[in-house]
Chain A
Amino acid sequence: AQSVTQLGSHVSVSEGALVLLRCNYSSSVPPYLFWYVQYPNQGLQLLLKYTTGATLVKGINGFEAEFKKSETSFHLTKPSAHMSDAAEYFCAVSEGYGQNFVFGPGTRLSVLP
Chain B
Amino acid sequence: EPEVTQTPSHQVTQMGQEVILRCVPISNHLYFYWYRQILGQKVEFLVSFYNNEISEKSEIFDDQFSVERPDGSNFTLKIRSTKLEDSAMYFCASRKGSVQETQYFGPGTRLLVL
Chain A residues with CB under 8 Å of chain B are: 32, 34, 36, 42-46, 49, 51-52, 90, 92, 96-106
Q: Which residues of B contact A45 (CB under 8 A)?
A: 105
The complex places the Cα of A100 from the Cα of B97 at a distance, in Å, of 12
> In the assembled complex, which residues on chain B have CB atoms less than 8 Å from the CB atom of A34?
102
> Which B1-60 residues sit within 8 Å CB-CB of chain A?
31, 33, 35, 41-45, 48, 50, 55-56, 58
Which residues of chain A come closer than 8 Å to B64, judged between CB atoms?
none
> Contact: B50 with A44, CB < 8 Å?
no
| Sample of 13 further A-B pairs with CB below 8 A, known A43-B106, A98-B50, A100-B56 | A32-B102, A42-B107, A51-B100, A90-B43, A98-B31, A98-B48, A100-B48, A101-B33, A101-B43, A102-B45, A103-B35, A104-B42, A106-B42
Do B42 and A46 touch (CB < 8 A)?
Answer: no
> What 10 A-B pairs have minimum CB-CB distances, sorted nearest first?
A43-B107, A44-B105, A103-B43, A100-B45, A105-B42, A43-B108, A100-B48, A103-B42, A43-B105, A98-B31
* In the bound complex, CA of A106 to CA of B44 (Å): 12
| Selected contact of B99 from candidates A96, A100, A102, A104, CB within 8 Å | A96
Task: For B95, give its contact among A51, A52, A98, A103 (CB under 8 Å).
Answer: A98
- Our pick among A43, A102, A104, A105 for the contact of B91 (Cβ within 8 Å) is A43
A33 CB to nearest B CB, Å? 10
Alpha-carbon gap, A110 to B109, bound state (A): 25
Residue pair A46, B102 in contact (C-beta under 8 Å): yes
Please give, as numbers and ranges, the residues of chain B lying within 8 Å of A52 by CB-CB distance: 100
Known: A102-B45, A103-B43, A103-B44. A97 touches B99 (CB 8 A): yes
Instruction: Give the residue of B33, B42, B100, B102 whose beta carbon is less than 8 angstroms from that of A100.
Output: B33
B103 within 8 A of A: yes
Task: Flag if B42 contacts A36 (CB, 8 Å).
Answer: no
CB B75 to nearest CB in A, in angstroms, measures 15
Q: Can you show 22 pairs from A to B with CB atoms below 8 A apart? A: A32-B102, A36-B105, A43-B91, A43-B105, A43-B108, A49-B102, A51-B100, A52-B100, A90-B43, A92-B43, A96-B99, A98-B31, A98-B97, A100-B33, A100-B48, A100-B58, A101-B43, A103-B42, A103-B44, A103-B45, A104-B42, A106-B42
